[in-house]
């Protein structure tokens, strides 16, 4: 996969040289290219923003450097990339969204700043490439760089060969299957006893069926505590697909949850 990132702070993305993503880049699985938006400005101050039409606080990123940047980055391509703009006003970025993006051969991520990017930029880009605005949460950041790091890492770890054990992605929170979109339960490693706390005996039993059942039940319990709305969604959509013991625990947890 190729990922182009356009930003006024290329140094922000030094972490992409590290850990799994850094290894994936070195192995040729992931081709990440950084571009400084100011390279497409033409005044001595490398200006990328201006005051908003209609008045109001803050500054808006100018369309000219963005338009030229996107023209240059995508020039000569046989097939257009998908342009992703992180913004608090975008659609929620979910694990399912990440799976869909991981199937794209080429992404361009545009890091906005200030009050955002002139609305004509995505409108112009849509003439030649698919465009989507995404939000990583209901809060406002100083710019799109942090959100872009989240998106790149979430998408990249789903690519074949990035994780040392591909099964890890399957067992993550929000993974696929009848109990998708649930939180992952607690995990443990050696030693079996630590500061008076013991690893649950079932994990030491060697009974894989019992271990799988315990993990599913713990996922249900943790989701009930931290994200009860996800448990209600599971009950509404996929109750019939669950194993009997899972259904019984789910119904018990739903009865214990306060009504809305």
Annotated binding site: 112, 136-141
Which H or E run contains 181? none
What is the maximum alpha-carbon separation in the chain?
Answer: 69
Which H or E run contains 114? none
- Nearest-CA neighbor of 113 among 70, 157, 61? 61
- Nearest-CA neighbor of 111 among 93, 86, 134, 129? 86
Can you say which residues are annotated as belonging to the binding site for S-adenosyl-L-methionine? Answer: 112, 136-141
Q: What whole-number distance in Å separates Cα of residue 226 and Cα of residue 213?
A: 20
Residue where the block lists tokens 């993974």:
175
Query: How far is CA 27 from each of CA 100, 123, 168, 259, rounded to the nearest angstrom?
Result: 23, 36, 20, 51
Q: What whole-number distance in Å separates Cα of residue 82 and Cα of residue 78?
A: 13
Beta carbons within 10 angstroms of residue 210's beta carbon? 13
Active site residues: 88, 115, 157, 172
Beta carbons within 10 angstroms of residue 153's beta carbon? 16
Q: What whole-number distance in Å separates Cα of residue 122 and Cα of residue 67?
A: 9
Dihedrals phi, psi of 108, to nearest 5 degrees: -120, 125
Q: Is 146 left (phi over 0), alpha (psi -120 to 50) or beta?
A: alpha
């Amino acid at each position: 996969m190729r990922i182009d990132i356009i930003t006024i702070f290329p140094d922000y993305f030094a972490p992409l040289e590290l850990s799994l993503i850094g290894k994936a880049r070195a192995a040729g699985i992931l081709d990440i290219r950084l571009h400084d938006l100011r390279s497409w400005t033409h005044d001595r101050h490398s200006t990328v923003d201006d005051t908003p039409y209609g008045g109001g606080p803050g500054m808006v990123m100018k369309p000219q450097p963005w338009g030229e940047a996107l023209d240059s980055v995508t020039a000569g391509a046989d097939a257009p990339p998908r342009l992703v703009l992180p913004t608090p006003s975008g659609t929620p970025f979910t694990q399912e969204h990440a799976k869909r993006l991981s199937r794209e051969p080429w992404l361009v991520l545009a890091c906005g700043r200030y009050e955002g990017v002139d609305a004509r930029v995505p409108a112009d880009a849509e003439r030649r490439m698919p465009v989507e605005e995404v939000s990583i949460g209901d809060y406002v950041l100083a710019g799109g760089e942090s959100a872009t790091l989240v998106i790149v890492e979430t998408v990249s770890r789903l690519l074949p060969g990035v994780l040392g054990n591909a099964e890890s992605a399957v067992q993550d929170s929000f993974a696929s299957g009848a109990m998708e979109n649930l939180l992952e339960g607690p995990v443990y490693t050696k030693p079996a006893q630590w500061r008076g706390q013991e690893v649950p005996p079932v994990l030491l039993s060697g009974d894989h069926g019992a271990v799988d059942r315990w993990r599913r039940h713990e996922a249900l319990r943790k989701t009930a505590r931290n994200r009860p709305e996800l448990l209600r969604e599971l009950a509404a959509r996929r109750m019939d697909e669950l194993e009997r013991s899972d259904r019984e625990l789910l119904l018990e947890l739903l009865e214990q949850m306060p009504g809305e």
